[in-house]
Structure 1
C-alpha cells in the first residue's frame, strides 16, 4: 500500500516538476540516462553512489544547484524506463539522441542485408557475459545463494562470449577462467563450450582475439561464405586490430551498435542473455542449498555443465533466436512493414516468456515482472509483492535498482 501511494505521488511530481533549480533539464536527464545504459552494457555496477556522483557532476551548471534525493532517483528511473525489471527493451527509447543513433544503425544493417544478400547463418550477434564470485557470500552459508553475480568492478571469475546467428543457430560459447580442471573433468566439458584456462586471466582485447580465432574463424570456414555481418557493441576490445583482421579475412562486416542502444538493437539482449543469466542464477541457488564445496575447480565444472545444458536448450529453439533478430530490427520485417513499437514490446514479452518456459525458469522467481509503463491504473492494482520486486536487485552492486525499507519509510514523511 505504501509503495502504491508513493508511486502515485512520484508520478504526480514528475508531471508537475519545475523546469529549473532543483531538477535536471530534459537534456541533462537524457545525458544521464545514456550514461546508465552504457554502464549496464559494460556490466559495470550502477549504484546510489555512482548515480548520484554522475548526476551531481551534470547538475553543477544548474542555477541554484541540484538537490539529490532517492525520490528523484526512482522517478528518473521510471521516466526513462530504466527499471531493473523492464522487459520491453525493443521499444523506442525516449532519449532523442538514442532514437537517432538507433535509427541510423537499423537503416545501415538492413541495407547491408538487402544489398549484399547475406546468408542468415553469416549474420550474427556476439557479446560477453562476465560472472563474478562474492567470496564473503560464498563462505556465508545461506548467503551463498547470492554469491554468483553478473555485475562487478573487480576481476571476473569467468568470462563467457556468446554468439548466435540469424538462422537460429547457437555457436560454441567461449569460456575463459583462471581456474583449471582436472584432466578427467576437462574431457567432460560439453562440445558446445570452448574452455580456455588462463592463470592470470586475460584482458578484454585478448578475450575477443581468442573468440575471433576459435569461434568466428572456424564458423566462417565451415560455412564457406565469402560475406557476413557481425552485430556487436562499441566496446574498444571489439575493434582491436587483431579482431578486425580476423573479421576482414572472413569477409565479415562489423556492425557496431551505438553506445546506450544495445537493449534495443542487440539481438542477444532481446531475450537470450537475460534468460541465460536467470538460468545460471537459478542453478546456483539450487546448488547453494547443498553442502558447500570450496574447490574452485568443482564450481567451474558445475558452471560448464549448466552452460552446456542451457546452450543445448537454446540450440533446440531456433525460432526464438530468429525472432530476436527480427525484434532487434537487424533483419527487415516480413513484408517490409515494421510493426508498431507497442506490438514489438508485446512480442518481446512473449518471446522472453517462451524462452523461460524452455529453460524451466518461468515462475521460479528468476523471471521478472514488467512494470506497466503506460497504464497508471494497472500500477495501482498491482500485487504489492510485484511492486516490491520492481525495486529489487540481485546484489549489493545493483542497489540502485532497489532501496532499503528505511528509505521507503522516509519517503512517506
Structure 2
C-alpha cells in the first residue's frame, strides 16, 4: 500500500464532507413527474440492487466528486468482494480516477467495511424512527383490500437524506481510524481499533 494514500484519506474526512447516499428502488423506472430531494442520488433497478453500470455511475457521480478528485489526487477505495466491484470495466474506471481499489476478504466486512463498523446501525435506526413516525402520523394509507400502501418514493428518499445528514462526520472519521485506514503510521492511534 502506498503511504501517500493514507494521509489523503484522512484529509478527505477532515473537510466534514460526507459523500451523498445512493438509493436504489426495486422497480423498472423512476416515476417521471416525481421530484427527489437534492443531496441523494436515486436510481431504479428491476431487482433493487447495484450492478456494474450502477457501480460505474456511483464512481462517476459520487466518488469522482470527493475532495481532490478534480485534481486526480491518488486515493484508495475500500469495498467488499461483491462481484461487480471486481470487473475489468470497474477497475479501469477507478484506475482512470487514480483510485487504488482494496477489496475486503470474505468474512471480514463487519470488521473492515467503514459503514458496517459504525454508521450503518444509527443510520438504519433513524430510518426506522422516521417510518414509525409516518405510520403513527396518520399519513399511512391502506389499499382497498386493507393492506398498507408503501410511502411515496420521494418521501423515502427524503428520509434517506435526513438520516444520512443526521450521521455526524466525526462518526465517519472514527470508522476510518477503527478500521485502521487513516491511523497515523507511527502507531499513536492504534488504540482506536477497539
Match in the other structure for 1:235: 82
Change (3 A) 1:200 1:327: closer
Change (3 A) 1:203 1:117: closer
Match in the other structure for 1:303: 156
For 1:258, what is the secondary structure of its paired residue? Answer: coil
- Cα deviation, 1:72-109, whole Å, max 9, x if unaligned, reads xxxxxxxxxxxxxxxxxxxxxxxxxxxxxxxxxxxxxx
Match status 1:119 vs 2:5? no
- Cα deviation, 1:46-79, whole Å, max 9, x if unaligned, reads xxxxxxxxxxxxxxxxxxxxxxxxxxxxxxxxxx
Aligned mates of 1:168, 1:269 — CA distance in 2: 20
Change (3 A) 1:260 1:117: closer
Match in the other structure for 1:320: 171
Change (3 A) 1:263 1:237: same
| Residue in structure 1 matching 2:53, options 206, 213, 225 | 206
Match in the other structure for 2:18: 170
Match in the other structure for 1:404: none
Aligned mates of 1:203, 1:272 — CA distance in 2: 20
Unpaired segments of 5 or more residues in structure 1?
A: 1-110, 124-164, 346-413
For residues 93-132 of structure 1, the aligned pairs below 5 Å read: 111-112=1-2, 114-116=3-5, 118-120=7-9
Match in the other structure for 1:272: 119
Aligned mates of 2:69, 2:5 — CA distance in 1: 20
Aligned mates of 1:286, 1:120 — CA distance in 2: 37
- Higher CA-based Rg: 1
For 1:286, what is the secondary structure of its paired residue? Answer: helix
Aligned mates of 2:60, 2:176 — CA distance in 1: 24
User: Post-superposition shift, 1:120?
Assistant: 2.6
> Does the CA-based 8 Å contact 1:208-1:238 persist in structure 2?
yes
User: Post-superposition shift, 1:272?
Assistant: 1.0
User: Post-superposition shift, 1:198?
Assistant: 4.3
Match in the other structure for 2:30: 180
For 2:152, what is the secondary structure of its paired residue? Answer: helix
